[in-house]
Amino acid sequence: MDIQGHRGCRGLLPENTIPAFLKAIELGVNTLECDVVVSKDEKVILSHEPFFSHHIATGPNGEVITKENEINHNVYALTYDEIKSYDVGLKHYPRFDKQEKIAIHKPSLEDVVRAVDEVDDKMLFNIEIKRRPEWDKTHHPVYTQFADIVINRIKDLGILDRTTVQCFDIPTLQYIRKTYADVPLVYLIDNLFSPSENIERLGFIPEIYSPNFLLVNPTTIDYCKANKMRLIPWTVNELVIMERLIELKVDGIITDYPDILIDLVRKS
């Protein structure tokens, strides 16, 4: 069972931050799941959106970020030093009431790997490229350049042998498979096509098939096994659903609450 801490351990600490990843390691995860975008100075930055979300962020000098103006706080238009002037850990996020509040900024992938390796230099990474076609050239580079920046940074950091790269975007996955055949890929799924239809659309068999947990059933399990793909659904936060997926014998689970999943697996 590959226990993946979603954005570190988002239910417990601010998402995609170094403290969240270190806590996930302390809890006992196998893999750190995270999202990446690109800064103005081409740093790979951990962030679910290519902007500062009003749910979690406060601007420089305590500036309020609203739903209406959040997209203007564009990570791709800021240097890493400017990104560090935003806080993403103190604002209360009602969706995660148990989340500890700390003053923290969005880190670079380089800083995350350095901090993680000081604790566990065998820890695995599952890195999502957050590409949307309508944001090409405005909130991130065009998808080929975006992929080049991320993959080359992974290789430069020496973590390719313990990293998978995931994406919802088919052109991004296709480009990586063609250009970097040594990179293990994860096809993220949030649609109602069957697994066979999705793989036909993709055009190749990825190493991991990763659907929304609601889409997992015995047929999904059988298809993945027949095609030698690991099946790792996202994002599972309720105990009863974790139990059902374990019974179905998925290969891993991505969760905001790795503490709950780890406790369940240890008791099984």
Domain range annotation of the chain: 2-53+106-267
Q: What angle do CA 166, 167, 171 make, to 5 degrees?
A: 125
**How far, in Å, CA of 254 to CA of 247, rounded?**
16
pLDDT at position 180 over 90:
yes
> 2-53+106-267, which class in CATH?
alpha beta
pLDDT digits (tens, 9 = 90+) for 204-242: 999 999 999 999 999 999 999 999 999 999 999 999 999
| CB neighbour list of residue 153: distance below 8 Å, 6 or more residues apart | 44, 109, 110
Residue 181, number of CB atoms within 10 A of its CB: 8
| pLDDT (average), residues 92-102 | 95
Q: Is the pLDDT of residue 41 over 90?
A: yes
What's the angle, vertex CA 29, arms to CA 23 and CA 106, rounded to 5?
45
pTM of the model: 0.98
Check whether 118 has a pLDDT greater than 90: yes
List pLDDT tens digits, range 226-235: 999 999 999 9
Q: Residue 186: is its pLDDT beyond 90?
A: yes
Q: pLDDT for 63-90, tens place per residue?
A: 999 999 999 999 999 999 999 999 999 9
Question: Across residues 26-37, what is the average pLDDT?
Answer: 98
pLDDT of residue 268: 84
Bridge partners, 33 (sequence order): 6, 126
Q: How many helices (H) and strands (E) does the chain have?
A: 9, 9
Give the rounded distance of the alpha carbon of 228 from its chain centre. 23
What is the pLDDT averaged over residues 44-53?
A: 98
Q: How high does pLDDT run on average in the chain?
A: 98
Print burial letters for 185-214: b (CB count within 10 Å at least 16), e (below 16). Answer: bbbbbeeeeebeebbeebeeebebbbbebe
Task: Name residue 101's amino acid.
Answer: K
